[in-house]
Amino acid sequence: MSIGDFFPDSFKEEFARRNLKVGSVLKLHVKETNPPKEKRFIIVGKTLDSLCLATVYINSEINPFVNFSPEFQDLHCFFDATGRDYLDHDSYVDCSAIYIRNNDELHEALKTRPDALIGLVTESDLQTIRSKIVSSPKIKGKDKKRFGFYPA
């Protein structure tokens, strides 16, 4: 049981609505990994109707089997843990791929587990991430446009 369990539902609802935004860092169980596990990820974009969110993973290291070329390895941002309270140790943000998530599912998860919100990236870090996403050949142009990565 966490302290969040004692708050009224309306408070939890407002907390989730207010904090589910571009730049939020969450730590939740995900199914895309092998094996599925709890991971840290950053919300980096959203559709115009806000129904879907684009996220990127934070990893302890760059996986050389998945990111075998220098081009793919360069699509990772090194984040020193100093000054980033949402990190336990130096990490890499994988900007080579985005993972599309349903806003309603993340909203419910955050409402149920407010402690899943572990931080917020700085505007500078967010711009670095977005720049690498734009240069990723793995992400389709239509998805980059859909989530607002191309300048208006």
Distance CA 118, CA 16 (A): 13
Domain count across the chain: 1
User: What mean pLDDT is predicted for residues 35-44?
Assistant: 96
Q: What CA–CA distances, in Å, run from 145 to 48, 65, 97, 113? A: 10, 29, 14, 31
Q: pLDDT-derived band of residue 27, with 50, 70 and 90 as boundaries?
A: very high
Do 91 and 59 form a contact (C-beta atoms < 8 A)?
yes
Specify if 20 maps to a domain. yes
DSSP, res 43: E
Domain presence at residue 66: yes
**Considering the domain boundaries, does residue 84 fall inside one?**
yes
- Per-residue pLDDT of 90-131, as tens digits, reads 999 999 999 999 999 999 999 999 999 999 999 999 999 999
Q: Kindly indicate the confidence band of residue 33, based on its pLDDT and cuts at 50, 70 and 90.
A: confident
- Structural domain including 95 reads 3-139
Q: Is residue 151 part of a domain?
A: no
Domain membership flag for residue 144? no
What's 117's domain CATH number? 2.30.30.110
Q: Is the peptide bond between 35 and the residue preceding it cis, with omega within 30 degrees of 0?
A: yes
* Domain annotation covers residue 146: no
For residue 23, give both structure tokens: 């730049």
How many CA atoms lie within 13 Å of 85's alpha carbon, on the beta-carbon side?
5
| Counts for the chain of helices (H) and strands (E), in that order | 5, 7
> What are the tokens at 89?
């140790």
| 88 in any annotated domain | yes
Asked if residues 30 and 39 have their Cβ atoms less than 8 Å apart, the reply is yes
Pairing mode of beta strands 91-94, 24-30 = unpaired
